[in-house]
Amino acid sequence: MQFSTFGQKFTKNSGILQLMDDLGNALASDKPINMLGGGNPAIISEVNDVYQKTLHDLVADGTVLDGVANYSTPQGDKGFIDSLVAFFNRHYDWGLTADNIALTNGSQNAFFYLFNLFSGDFGGVDKKILLPLSPEYIGYADAHVDGTHFVAVEPVITECTHEGQAGFFKYTVDFDKLNELDELRHGRIGAICASRPTNPTGNVLTDDEMDKLSAIARTYDVPLIIDNAYGMPFPNIIYTNTTLNFDDNTVLCFSLSKVGLPSVRTGIIVASPAIIKAVSAMNAIINLAPTRFGASLAKPLFDSDEIVRLSKHAILPFYQRQSALAVKLLKEQFANLPVFIHKPEGAMFLWVWFKDLPITSQELYQLLKDKGTLIIPSLHFFVGIDTDHYRHAHECIRLSVAQTDEVLTAGIGMIGEVVKGLYQQNSL
């Protein structure tokens, strides 16, 4: 069957398709699989107990039925938007109104809108999205209607310690190279975008880096888009001291997915009224209106600040504990080998660098998959970078720590077995 150019673009193989296929197949399989590759949040009983009780109350008073039986406006559920306005103003004093918030059917939906609003053809000028720190989220890569419009610079890689241990490294933004980009200096950047904490690495841009990015965005009169899916104040999977800021040139994107509600597909955009109006118009054309179920479930949790309590006292401690366990297991497996872990600063992943790996991490992915352990290879995360001659982009993997102790132990054990064998064969 022949498809249009649009159809061909969205049916070809992609990193995000691989990730979601692996996740779905693993969940449906009757074979034991060490699922270290997906992005599904963990099942945390304390969190689910709150959702169960909230759902029970909402069913009893008819709120859920109203939420699924009626459309919202294209901007999203008005009641939840009003709750979000009060929530953010209560915690951050940003002076928001309902004109500053729109809902989408998940944050993936939000970024599809934003990337196509701010890149592509601008009256004969092809503008791109600038990713100041690549590797970046795998789901960005193909989120354009036509072509791919990203540019990035290679990160600065600095070896460091973590809790007194060697064998770690950290990515930082190379501002010298960033400021020299032809696309930036000649008006071919439509927006700057970064995730914080970063998926896949768990890196957290420092407040100083954020200030510099904000200044660059203002200098070139483009918005600064921040993917806050793992950040403050919910789900708060962030281990460093950071500040969350908003102004009229910033676009903040949040999600209910990582608080344990991925299937309700509810994204939240906080931005200037002009951007919110544009997103609402796109919602009307593409979706008619965003789903209301997630909004109905979340509203009482935001009204009472229960979402903050759950994030701080249940979600954050779980991921911090699992991250520490995974680091311990990796250190045990790869002592005396050139294996480095990106300093864990947040999110629900670890990023592992197998320096001088004899094969590519894509080939390693297939070897591990055949042995019942799923990881995500690094290549697809280096969005906007020419990876043909950048070896580092072929030497890393992303591991999800949103798993039980048993799965982490078995999965990392299998990774150790395979990778140690590869290094040993290469040394013969």
* Average pLDDT, integer, range 381-400: 96
Confidence at residue 213, expressed as pLDDT on a 0 to 100 scale? 98
Q: State the angle between helix axes of 78-92 and 293-303 in degrees (0 to 180), rounded to the nearest 10.
A: 30
Domains along the sequence of the chain with CATH: 9-47+309-427 (3.40.640.10), 72-307 (3.40.640.10)
State how far the Cα of 150 lies from the Cα of 103, in Å rounded to an integer: 25
What pLDDT sits at residue 266? Answer: 97
According to the model, what pLDDT value does residue 357 have? 96
Helix (H) or strand (E) run with residue 423 in it: helix 405-427
pLDDT band per the 50, 70, 90 thresholds, residue 20? low
Whether pLDDT at 428 is above 60: no
pLDDT score of 356: 95
Over residues 253-268, mean pLDDT: 96
Section 301-318 average pLDDT = 98
Question: Do 421 and 370 form a contact (C-beta atoms < 8 A)?
Answer: no
Higher pLDDT, 99 or 12: 99
- Contact, 315 vs 237, CB < 8 A? yes
pLDDT at 39: 84
- Cα–Cα distance between 347 and 198 in angstroms, integer? 7
Mean pLDDT taken over the chain = 94
Strand-by-strand arrangement of the 396-400 sheet: 156-162, 165-172, 339-342, 349-354, 396-400, 376-377
Indicate if the pLDDT at residue 23 is higher than 90: no
pLDDT given at position 7: 84
186-196 pLDDT, tens per residue? 999 999 999 99
Mean pLDDT of 93-99: 97
pLDDT at 278: 98
3-class DSSP state of 126: strand
Give the pLDDT confidence of 144-169 residue by residue, as tens digits.
888 779 999 999 999 999 999 999 99
For 289, phi then psi, to 5°, come to -165, 155
Q: How many CA atoms lie within 13 A of 129 on its CB side?
A: 29
User: Can you spell out the DSSP letters for 39-69?
Assistant: -PPP--HHHHHHHHHHHHHHHHTTHHHHHHH
| pLDDT tens track for 214-247 | 999 999 999 999 999 999 999 999 999 999 999 9
**Residue 366: is its pLDDT beyond 90?**
yes
Question: Beta 165-172 vs 189-195: how paired, if at all?
Answer: unpaired
pLDDT at 35 over 80: yes
- Residue 333: the pLDDT is 97
Question: Taking the model in full, what pTM does it have?
Answer: 0.94
For residue 60, pLDDT over 90 is answered with yes
Mean pLDDT of 255-262: 96
Residue 358 above 70 pLDDT? Answer: yes
**Which range, of 3-17, 110-124, 301-315, 319-333, averages the lowest pLDDT?**
3-17
* pLDDT for position 108: 94
What is the Cα–Cα distance from 361 to 345, expressed in whole angstroms?
23
Across the range 189-215, mean pLDDT stands at: 97
Banded pLDDT at 19 (limits 50, 70, 90): low
65: pLDDT confidence band, cut at 50, 70 and 90?
confident
